[in-house]
Amino acid sequence: MKKRILKNIEWGILICVILLITIGIIALYSATKEANGEELKKQIIWLIISIPVMILVICINYEVIAKISPIFYGIFLILLVAVLFTESVNGATSWFEIGIFSFQPSEFAKIFVILLYSLVITKIQERGRDEISKPTKLLLSLLVIAVPVVLIIKQPDYGTALAFLVATVFILFTAGIKKRYIFGSILLVAIALPLLYFFILPEHARTRIDVFLNPNLDPRGAGYNVIQSKLAVGSGKLLGMGLLKGNQTQLGFLYPKTTDFIFSVIGEEMGFLVTAGIVLIYVILITKAIYVAKTAKDDLGSYIAMGIAGIFLFHMLENIGMTIGLLPITGVPLPFVSYGGSSLLTNLILIALLLNISGRRQKAIFIE
């Protein structure tokens, strides 16, 4: 059975991840050189920790993991409440400090929210696929998403909250929700956006949107980061300025260059060819995740895989988009590339789930 699983795994997903992590390690080496590579060392430690966790997640049937997900979902809800009472870091109460490491519960919550929501949808559809389109059951299922999203917004961390919502849309679309809900949601969002901007969003969030529309409104303040980021990406041209040779990177104009703006570091020092390669790798990774969803042996596997695809798609588009001025800055990391232990471990667990689902898909039935 184990040989069948290993033979059937979508190994292309793992290859994409290895390529992204390698590029990220190289970029972190350059970006942290003047600080003796402390963040690079921590990233490597987190990577080493992640490998046995990945192997464990691959070995346990994803159906079993999904069944115990309500327990971990409850634990992380408690942690999302507790983190609100921690000391603010860069204007957000999102981290627990544990010695030299920090722990971000909203990152790990992604795993168990996707698992539990996929499980809830499959339970609802046991009486028929159209059950999820009934308003009462749809609204009740959405509480699984709404509670952690509200807690994450309270931190505030709008980027991570949006990642949850994108994953939800992917799962519901795969579950066959009636199109009227999709069009109705789009209309509701179009109406709600102006109201959110003028009456609900805090001042700093409105400022980010204003600066996104015109960075020169505050070139030395809120617009500074995006201006420096665009300068860095543009100055890299085709082949880049070379490792340890980027002006914005090495002279400290990019901040935070190891997390939010790591793509800018890569663009400046490695050039357009590498950044285009990164985009291509993500496209392949997300396409393969969708393929795993399409070929999964059951609806549960399909929903989990699509939720993961939604998470990666949002993070890729938002991070790269904000570094080149196409989207507002939200502090969303670039998966497998940006520095961050919680993010790296979470994303590798999500990859392990994809490999888990692909190894147990219908295709395995035809393997001798």
Asked if residue 344 lies in contact with residue 336, where contact means CB atoms within 8 angstroms, the answer is: yes
Residue 126 in this model has a pLDDT that exceeds 50: yes
The residue whose two tokens read 């539990």 is 116
Asked if residue 264 lies in contact with residue 229, where contact means CB atoms within 8 angstroms, the answer is: yes
Confidence grade of residue 363 (pLDDT, cut at 50, 70, 90)? low
Confidence grade of residue 281 (pLDDT, cut at 50, 70, 90)? very high
Length of the chain: 368
| Amino acid letter for position 208 | R
State the average pLDDT over residues 303-308: 97
Structure tokens at 289: 């995740």
Considering the chain, what percentage of its residues have pLDDT values greater than 90? 68
Structure tokens at 87: 């000391």
Asked if residue 236 lies in contact with residue 263, where contact means CB atoms within 8 angstroms, the answer is: no
Distance CA 295, CA 224 (A): 46
Peptide bond just before 70 cis, omega within 30 deg: no
**What's the pLDDT at 362?**
66
State the average pLDDT over residues 340-356: 96
The residue whose two tokens read 């600066």 is 211
Residue 351 in this model has a pLDDT that exceeds 70: yes
Count CB neighbours of 366 within 10 A. Answer: 7
Residue 10 in this model has a pLDDT that exceeds 90: yes
pLDDT one-digit tens code per residue, 101-120: 788 999 999 999 999 999 99
Asked if residue 241 lies in contact with residue 235, where contact means CB atoms within 8 angstroms, the answer is: yes
Residue 245 in this model has a pLDDT that exceeds 60: yes
Confidence grade of residue 365 (pLDDT, cut at 50, 70, 90)? very low
Residue 246 in this model has a pLDDT that exceeds 80: yes
Asked if residue 355 lies in contact with residue 316, where contact means CB atoms within 8 angstroms, the answer is: no
**What's the pLDDT at 364?**
38
CA dihedral 127, 132, 137, 140 (to 10 degrees): 130
Residues ≥6 apart with Cβ < 8 Å to 250? 30, 33, 34, 244
Tell me the CA distances in angstroms from 135 to 121, 131, 300, one per residue in order.
Answer: 13, 9, 21
Residue 366 in this model has a pLDDT that exceeds 70: no
Residues ≥6 apart with Cβ < 8 Å to 196? none
State the average pLDDT over residues 336-342: 94
Q: What is the DSSP letter of 336?
A: T
pLDDT one-digit tens code per residue, 167-220: 999 999 999 888 788 788 778 878 887 887 777 777 777 777 887 788 877 777
Confidence grade of residue 145 (pLDDT, cut at 50, 70, 90)? very high
Report the run of H or E that residue 229 belongs to, with start and end: helix 224-235
Count CB neighbours of 49 within 10 A. Answer: 14
Average pLDDT, the chain: 90
C-alpha angle 295-298-301 in degrees, rounded to nearest 5:
75
The secondary structure of the chain in percent helix, strand, coil, rounded to multiples of 5, reads 75, 0, 25
What are the two backbone dihedrals, phi and then psi, of residue 61, each rounded to the nearest 5 degrees? -55, 130
Distance CA 193, CA 195 (A): 5
pLDDT one-digit tens code per residue, 57-83: 999 999 999 999 999 999 999 999 999
Asked if residue 292 lies in contact with residue 312, where contact means CB atoms within 8 angstroms, the answer is: no
- Nearest Cα neighbor of 43 from 104, 105, 101 is 101
State the average pLDDT over residues 324-334: 89
Confidence grade of residue 14 (pLDDT, cut at 50, 70, 90)? very high
Whole-model pTM: value is 0.92
- Nearest Cα neighbor of 335 from 279, 254, 287, 293 is 279
